[in-house]
Amino acid sequence: MPSTAAFASSLALLPSSSSSSISIYYLPSIDLPSLHSTDGMSDHAARCFQLYTPHIKSALASTSASALIIDFFATAAIDAANELRIPTYIYIPFNASMLALVLHLPTLHNEIPVEFDQFHGQIHVPGLPPIPPLSMPSPFMDKKNRQYTWSIYHAQRLKQVRGILVNTFRALEKVVISAIESDKSVPPVHPVGPILHFVAGVRHECLHWLDKQPEASWCSSASVAWG
C-alpha cells in the first residue's frame, strides 16, 4: 500500500517479524480514486478494496493462511478468499444493535420505497426498539448516494462469511444478539468486545467536572450509539 507518514508511524509500533508471529505483507501501489470523486469515506474505502482484491488474493496464495478476517468495507475480498478456499470472517467495530440494523437494511430497502426521512411511521428491526426515521444513520438517509448503495451491498455480503466478530459482549446486548442469531441466514455471531480506543491524556471536560463531585451524588443513564 502507498506509504504515508501516518502509515509509516503505525508500522513502527508493530513488533518485528523476527520477534513475533505476526508477518506483514506489503501490497503493490495502485492508482486509487480521489476522495473528491467518491461519495464519502465509505464509498472511497469500498472502491479501494475492490481495486486491491487481486493483490490480496496473491498475498493469500503465498501464505498458509487458515482464515481471513476482513473489515466491514472489505467485503470484495470475500471472493478472493473463496477462490482459495479460505474461510472468511468479518470484524464489525460497532455494536450488535448497529449490526442488526445493517443486516436488516436490504429488507427495509424493499419495504420502504421512499427516503427514510419521508417515511411516516416507525422503522422496525428485530431485536431493537422502534426507530424514528430521522434517527437513521446519515449514510442511509440518501438512497441515491453510493454510500447507501455500498451499505446494501455490504449487508448482503455479511451473510456470505463464516462468522461475524462484533464489538460487544453478550450480557450488554443479549436481546439483540439473540434476535440476530434467530435468523438462520446470518452466520454465527461472535461477541469479542468491548474493544475500546483510549487516547492518552484526552478527557472530556464533563469527566473532570464529575471527578469533583461528592461520591454517590450522581447516576448515569446509559444509551446505545448508532455507529
In the chain the domains, ranked by start, together with CATH numbers, are 15-211 (3.40.50.2000)
Q: What percent of the chain has pLDDT over 70?
A: 83
Higher pLDDT, 38 or 126: 126
pLDDT-derived band at 38, boundaries 50, 70, 90: low
Question: Where are the alpha helices (H) located in 112-203, listed in sequence order?
Answer: 146-157, 174-181
Cβ-contact 130, 124 below 8 angstroms = yes
How far apart CA 14 and CA 195 sit, in angstroms, is: 18
Mean pLDDT of 148-175: 95
The 3-state DSSP composition of the chain as helix, strand, coil percent (nearest 5) reads: 45, 10, 50
pTM here is 0.78
Residue 223 pLDDT > 50: no
Q: Any idea which of 93-97, 192-196, 200-204, 205-209 has the lowest mean pLDDT?
A: 200-204
| Tens-place pLDDT, residues 162-186 | 999 999 999 999 999 999 999 999 9
Cβ-contact 59, 84 below 8 angstroms = no
Q: Match 502509515 to its residue by C-alpha cell.
A: 7
